[in-house]
Amino acid sequence: MKEIELIKLTERLISIPSESFNENTIVDFIADYLSEEDHLKVEKINNIVYAVIEGRDRSKTLCLAGHVDTVPPNGNAVPRYEGDRLFGLGAVDMKGGIAIMLKLALTATNPNCNLKFIFYPREEVDNKHNGLKELYSIDKDYLNCDAAILLEPTNGYIEAGCQGVIKLRVYIA
């Protein structure tokens, strides 16, 4: 039986070490977790797990994405509870988000629009190693969608980020 209680699933994900460049075990866990579900098409592309659910309206696609790696441990590799709060490496950034993606992928069996899930490695290191870039370089269609939500922690706020950079040169006379 697959665990779908979010806090237990997050605890399980924290207990799998996944420092950047060492994501094999967690990627296998995610691919295995999503396997054998009739409504899901799952592909493993190097260390990226890509899963799609066809929606009732196939003309629109919502993408949910999250990185599976963490920074190096610092005495926090083992998940622990304080009351009903879960602590541990990557609990917030972003194994909690990965747990939500996994639960949605398993339970959203008949969504309004297509859903695309991308679990990718190497986000917590230099941008040139980023797994999303790798996926884009393999086939940019993997990232095609009408809207994308990255489940990074924002304390519950919607943050419209990653919209480019403005560089200004200011002259004061």
3 carries an active-site annotation: no
In one-letter notation, the amino acid at residue 139 is: D
Binding residue count for Zn ion, defined by CB under 5 A = 3
Contact 103, 143 (CB under 8 A): no
Query: Three-state DSSP class for 80?
Result: strand
> Nearest approach, Cβ of 92 to Zn ion (angstroms)?
9
Continuous H helices in 42-168: 96-107, 131-138
d(CA 157, CA 36): 34
> Nearest approach, Cβ of 114 to Zn ion (angstroms)?
25
- Considering only residues 144 to 163 of the shown chain, the ones binding Zn ion according to CB under 5 A are 152
> Nearest approach, Cβ of 147 to Zn ion (angstroms)?
19
The single residue among 4, 93, 125, 143 that binds Zn ion, judged by CB under 5 A, is 93
Should residue 94 be labelled a site residue for Zn ion when binding is judged by CB under 5 A?
A: yes
Indicate which residue of 11, 23, 123, 124 is catalytic: 123
- Angle between helix 6-14 and 96-107 (nearest 10): 130
Q: Which residues bind Zn ion (CB under 5 A)?
A: 93-94, 152
Residues forming the active site: 69, 123
